[in-house]
A and B are shown apart, each in its own frame.
Chain A
């Protein structure tokens, strides 16, 4: 593969890196909503339980970020095979 083709492939991979990093940063900073007016609803409990939206958000963010990593790894391993 010549240098130009390699660089093009790398640019594509770099865009993917940026997309995943930006998605992660976006979901990460949604956690700040907990302390803003816009996120006031997160303090409410789910139904009749004592589980608040904020706690669900915390657990959900950790799981979501791990899912992002899994998808990223899967896409990369497919790319490496190609």
Chain B
């Protein structure tokens, strides 16, 4: 099998993990015609319980959401543990659970590259970004990058980066959500998409970040509980022996012992490296994740948040080893889970749900299906808050009102923007329902790694950065990342139908991120403008403020 064929075979499943949402399911096994499952009453009852609890939370949160600060950052009163759990809930998705497990069902060990990629961004987030971002920003990462640079142009570029990432993420989310819910609950696609949007609007419009935070916390606890129960039941049936788990998996899988080592799904180290770069640096540039750092009261709590998030995610991805190999043991050779033509019912992304059924019966299946739906709501809610903040805070309050908006109008606009994003999400979800959205699912992480991360990192760590360099670097990152995705296998071959891709990799961040950084560096060092001098001069004061908090240091640009 050629490298390209292999790439195509696993690309869909990988993509779901790249955006860390069920959305990507659209790109993988849940693609094209879906065999709708019979209505699942247990799943629906459990999901309704979740909805009732989260709507109750939203009602409670709405009484505490009076100002823009409440809306964007939950008043900054979330504790480190709560925020860490919410970050895990925001990032750890049904895609992580269903996607990695499904890929392990097919190819064993190789799928774990996606798990390590999804995990490793968090320690780097703690070491490099958590404290400084928390100290410098108010509501969004755009606040941070505009601190020492010419605020108007750099904000516009950062808003562009945010909106592109959020919209692409949302499209992938909504299409994947529609298909996943159709599959799990037996609901029509349109009903699923509208349900997701209506519920998210209820959470976000009334409860803002506080409701979103608690929805994400509840979801994270449910997901971790579900994965723990499944892993426990799998281990119970293997006598709590990891060795027996692997031995039985190898005995059941058509590829035998090969699934316990690398090489079944991937064989190109550059392909692996591009995936790992996209995932790690993509996480560091995701606006809705960075925004969570502002919900805690101090820089210490920000660092703690990231640590707790790492801890939960580390546990989750380690537990997936048991769950993934568990699917191999319990599903292969069990005809109850396969159609007449030998395909797993619902596709390989359903392997985890089938495993729940095999080890825990209808109750656990219903629970895990409900958790998967809850997961979608939590991620879409986070994206919606982030998109709304980009428009109402970054654009309206900071650019159009020059940082002095009428706070009542700003909050009204925030709520209106939230509703608009909800409507747009439904429209895009319906518009793209029959499209191959695999390439859309690739873009958010690659764009975040190539646009948002370089300007954020360099503004915090390089004194030589100038506005001109940051803007041109970000634009080069945006154009090159979108361009290389278009000429890569996912779009050029799979969507446009050409025989051979012009660029061999689906995840070009390995090339586009260094290109963006190089452009930023060259333009900045050759920038002799007066604005460039101010940008460089501002760095030391920004540095002090980034370590000692917002009361220290007043930047020249901040006075404008």
Contact = CB atoms under 8 A, between A and B. Distances in A.
B461 A14 contact: yes
A62 B124 contact: no
A28 B122 CA distance: 12
Contacts of A61: 116, 120
Contact of A50 (B115, B257, B276, B306): B257
Contacts of A43: 261-263
B475 interface: no
Name the interface size band of chain B. Answer: 35 or more
B317 A32 contact: no
A66 B540 contact: no
Interface residues on A, range: 35 or more
B206 interface: no
B109 A55 contact: yes
Interface string B235-279: 000000011001100100000010011110011110011001000
Nearest to B248: A50
A7 B543 contact: yes
B262 A28 contact: no
B120 A65 contact: yes
A24 B116 contact: no
B249 to A, nearest CB: 8
A24 B126 CA distance: 11
Interface in A44-64: 44-45, 49-52, 54-55, 58-59, 61-63
Contacts of B119: 62, 65
Given A14-B461, A31-B116, A52-B261, A72 B273 contact: no
Contact of B127 (A20, A62, A70): A20
Say what secondary structure dominates the interface of chain B: helix
Contacts of A63: 314
B112 interface: yes
Contact of A58 (B115, B124, B306): B115
Given A34-B262, A50-B246, A63-B314, A55 B321 contact: yes
Interface string A33-48: 0111000001111000
Contact of B280 (A6, A14, A28, A73): A28
B128 interface: yes
Contact of B318 (A49, A62, A80): A62
Interface in B310-334: 310-311, 314, 317-318, 321
Interface string B533-560: 0000000100110011000000000000
A69 B310 contact: yes
Nearest to A33: B269
Nearest to A28: B120
A3 interface: yes
A33 B126 CA distance: 25
Contact of A72 (B127, B269, B317, B543): B127
B262 A35 contact: yes
Contact of B109 (A9, A20, A36, A52): A52
B123 A6 contact: no
Interface in B103-131: 109, 112-113, 115-116, 119-120, 122-124, 126-128
Contacts of A70: 307
B303 interface: yes
A54 to B, nearest CB: 5
Nearest to A21: B127
Contacts of B300: 80
Interface string B507-541: 00000000000000000000000000000000010
Contact of A35 (B263, B540, B548): B263
Given A7-B540, A10-B547, A50-B250, A62 B262 contact: no
B272 A32 contact: yes
B541 to A, nearest CB: 9
A63 B123 CA distance: 11
A68 B116 contact: no
Nearest to A7: B540
A37 B310 CA distance: 31
B124 A24 contact: yes
A69 B307 contact: yes
A24 B119 CA distance: 11
Given A9-B547, A28-B116, A73-B303, 20 more contacts: A3-B544, A7-B543, A10-B544, A10-B547, A13-B547, A14-B461, A28-B280, A31-B116, A32-B272, A32-B273, A34-B109, A43-B261, A45-B260, A55-B109, A55-B246, A62-B116, A69-B307, A72-B126, A72-B127, A80-B300
Q: What 3 A-B pairs come out closest when comparing CB atoms?
A: A43-B261, A50-B246, A34-B262
25 contacts: A3-B540, A10-B543, A20-B123, A20-B127, A28-B280, A31-B113, A31-B276, A32-B272, A35-B266, A35-B267, A43-B262, A44-B261, A54-B261, A54-B262, A62-B314, A65-B120, A65-B123, A65-B310, A65-B314, A66-B123, A66-B310, A69-B122, A69-B307, A73-B303, A73-B304
